[in-house]
Amino acid sequence: MLTEPAVVTAAGAHSVTPAQVVLRWHLQQGRIVIPKSVTPARIAANADVFGFTLTGAELDALDALERDGRTGPHPARFNG
């Protein structure tokens, strides 16, 4: 998802990383996000998503990326 043109374009427009765009997108849509990183710089970037707001057009473009699918393990089959 971080390389999707809609994500990259929004990141460039707000001078943030694609990961920050995805986190902000989820927050603006009222979702709970729990980012994970062990890299101090990424942890700081993940927390720095309140200095910009995605536009309605950007939210629409990101919402259009929804493919009704998972990008990670299915929770019912997640045993590590």
Mean pLDDT of 45-55: 96
Task: Flag whether 16 is in a domain.
Answer: yes
CA distance 25 to 48: 13
In a domain, 48, yes or no: yes
Cβ atoms of residues 62 and 10 within 8 Å: yes
Position 80 pLDDT exceeds 60: no
Across 65-72, average pLDDT? 68
Mean pLDDT of 18-23: 96
The whole domain housing 19 covers 5-65
And the tokens for 44? 């700081």
Q: Which pLDDT belongs to residue 1?
A: 83
Query: pLDDT tier at 69 (50, 70, 90 boundaries)?
Result: low
How many folded domains does the chain comprise? Answer: 1
